[in-house]
């Protein structure tokens, strides 16, 4: 028995836990059941497919079964159905529509998506990457924020709109950039702000960690307590430029 990283109780810990939820690898496997993993520092050299493992990152002895399967599991189950399709209560069943914002940028507008479950699901990916000892997640170090986010996940508290806001982007419409990749998470420190970037299967998840200096537009387009969310579509031809910028390379 050991201490579970989430409930902080001494329990038997499971042997296989995925920091990045397994269902997010759904479209990443090729015909040989291989995943293309991207390392940002190699991406700029044109080496977009660095390693090809047969499964996503996982490790054991981090979480007990109750925390992994039930607490985090409830957020994963909801988000899987919300994103991939399935039956949900009407008030938690998201609808999606494509529109433009006031700046003329294309985005997908999501209504009726659970602020609590979806935000905590995304935060659980960041937090699990933080507690992981896998080399792939070596750039994720939340420091004191780890305990705050742990408490939010464990107690089912998504916090206020400006508590660790998250932006979602997709470059699936830009065929010049491969979408069948998962990118090594990257830490960005800029203008006294700390952010983390995850790239998964054509989507970019941007976490704003610092409480100060959060741009107004970040708050405007993050997941809202009104159960709304937005996914930005990168302009055609701008996918690679975007990735390089947010990886801190370009």
Host domain of residue 134: 2-246
CA 111-213-210 angle, 5° bins: 80
Mapping DSSP to helix (H, G, I), strand (E, B) and coil, where does residue 118 land?
Answer: helix
| HSE-up of residue 216 (Cα within 13 Å, Cβ side) | 0
Could you give the number of structural domains in the chain? 1
What is the spatial distance between Cα 167 and Cα 161, in angstroms, rounded to a whole number?
12
Average pLDDT over residues 16-43: 62
Distance, in Å, from the CA atom of 102 to the CA atom of 106, rounded to the nearest integer, reads 10
Using one digit for the tens of pLDDT, what is the confidence trace for 54-110? Answer: 444 568 789 999 999 999 999 999 999 998 888 999 899 999 999 988 888 899 999
**Residue 106 to residue 7: CA distance in whole angstroms:** 41
Measured CA to CA, the distance from residue 49 to residue 38 in angstroms comes to 6
pLDDT digits (tens, 9 = 90+) for 114-146: 999 999 999 999 999 999 988 889 999 999 999
What sign does the CA torsion over 207, 210, 214, 219 have? positive
Determine the Cα–Cα distance for residues 189 and 210; give it in Å rounded to an integer. Answer: 10
Radius of gyration of the chain (CA): 18
The Cα–Cα gap between 60 and 18 comes to 9
Mean pLDDT of 27-38: 54
Contact 201, 167 (CB under 8 A): no
Buried b (16+ CB within 10 A) or exposed e, 144-156: ebbeebbebbbee
pLDDT the model gives residue 214: 94
Q: What is the mean pLDDT of the chain?
A: 85
């Amino acid at each position: 028995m050991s201490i579970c990283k989430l409930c902080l109780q001494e329990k038997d810990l499971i042997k296989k836990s995925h920091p990045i939820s397994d269902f997010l690898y759904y479209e990443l496997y090729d015909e040989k059941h291989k995943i293309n993993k991207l390392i940002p520092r190699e991406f700029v050299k044109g080496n977009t497919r660095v390693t090809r493992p047969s499964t996503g990152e996982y490790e054991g002895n981090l979480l007990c079964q109750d925390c992994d399967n039930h607490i985090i599991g409830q957020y994963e189950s909801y988000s899987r159905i919300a994103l991939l399709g399935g039956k949900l209560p009407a008030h938690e069943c998201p609808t999606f529509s494509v529109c433009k914002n006031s700046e003329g940028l294309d985005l997908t507008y999501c209504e009726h998506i659970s602020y609590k479950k979806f935000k905590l699901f995304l935060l659980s990916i960041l937090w699990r990457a933080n507690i992981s000892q896998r080399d792939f997640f070596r750039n994720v170090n939340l420091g004191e924020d780890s305990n705050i986010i742990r408490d939010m996940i464990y107690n089912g508290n998504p916090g206020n709109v400006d508590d660790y806001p998250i932006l979602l982007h997709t470059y699936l419409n830009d065929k010049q950039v491969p979408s069948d990749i998962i990118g090594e998470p990257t830490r960005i420190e800029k203008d006294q702000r700390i952010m983390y970037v995850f790239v998964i299967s054509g989507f970019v998840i941007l976490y704003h960690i610092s409480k100060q200096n959060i741009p107004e537009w970040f708050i405007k387009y993050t997941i809202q307590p009104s159960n709304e969310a937005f996914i930005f579509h990168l302009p055609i031809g701008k996918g690679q430029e975007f990735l390089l910028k947010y990886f801190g390379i370009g």
